[in-house]
Amino acid sequence: MKENDLLKYFIDSGTKNIENDTDTNAETFEKTQLIRNIVKERQPVDEIRQNKEEILILLIVWEIGLLKIYKDFFTSYGVRVCTVSSEEEFLGFARIFPINGVVADSQSVVNYGDEANKLFSELESTYPFLRTKYNPETNGFDCFYRDNSVRNIEDFIERKCMRFHSRPLRSSQRHAISLNVEISPEKEFLRVERTVTIDISSTGLFVLSTSPIWDNAKKCFISVKEFRTESLIECNIRRRIKWGEKPFAIPGLGLEIVTIHEVLQDNFQMLVEKWRLG
């Protein structure tokens, strides 16, 4: 997919009118830079709270007239959004970009196919997720969040999305497979933690971890005992959950595989396939 194909789905505080398709060269350049920054892999950050201008919201609104009302609101509020206005766009774009939250018009999340409904549920369980309904009498939005901690869209953005580290929705299914592993933030294995995997997929894994050696670490190198090889798996650390940080959550590292020997990759695929077939 080309950058130009993505431009129409994005707005930022510089967008004036979604009907106006006559961007100047400077405006087009600015939008292109926005796309490049979004698609570019982002390393985890230490700050708990991000600036409003740094976050990206997935906006799901099927009806074109309502879409303009929503876009005007987010433009005036100064928050970037990636918009989808059809089931086809939703299925095509929902997994691509690292987002901080989802705002979905209530009319857009009912009466659609099984694949779309499954994706809605996956988004709702992964990200801050706000269902909204435009109220023409108040010229505002009625909001429905999973608890009573959110009153309006501004509240949702500031209290939920700005505190949520952006990441794309994983495209490969993970399976609860336990492997004995040794992990280290250095390729030379200067510091080592012995632990187990909680789940794995063909592209990543989550490992149990409580060691302080992961403070400020960006990389993780893994040796899998079951595979009986000295080859290491190199991963990027996408998220870290410290012990006691979240109620009822397993402390550990969410890892994305960067480099893996072909034989190890085959072993992973065989494990996943064996698990799938039971």
Angle at Cα 148 formed by Cα 119 and Cα 141, nearest 5°? 70
pTM over 0.75: no
Where exactly are the structural domains of the chain? Answer: 3-163, 180-277
- Taking residues 173-188, report their average pLDDT: 89
DSSP codes of every residue in 224-264: EGGGT-S--EEEEEEEEE-TTTSTT---EEEEEEEE--HHH
> Binning pLDDT at 50, 70 and 90, where does residue 275 land?
low
Question: Which residue is listed with tokens 């857009």?
Answer: 108
Tell me what pLDDT residue 219 has: 96
**Mean pLDDT over all residues of the chain?**
80
Would you say 165 and 171 are in contact if contact means Cβ atoms under 8 Å apart?
Answer: no
For the stretch 160-178, pLDDT in tens is 999 888 887 765 666 788 8
Tell me what pLDDT residue 40 has: 43
Gap between the Cα atoms of 103 and 270, Å rounded: 38
Q: Which CATH number fits domain 3-163: 1.10.760, 3.10.590, 3.40.50, 3.30.1360?
A: 3.40.50
Question: Which residue is listed with tokens 């592209």?
Answer: 203
CATH topology of domain 180-277: Thrombin, subunit H (2.40.10)
Tell me what pLDDT residue 21 has: 42
Would you say 260 and 204 are in contact if contact means Cβ atoms under 8 Å apart?
Answer: no
Gap between the Cα atoms of 159 and 180, Å rounded: 38
For the stretch 58-76, pLDDT in tens is 999 988 889 999 999 999 9
- Taking residues 215-224, report their average pLDDT: 94
Has residue 224 got a pLDDT over 50? Answer: yes
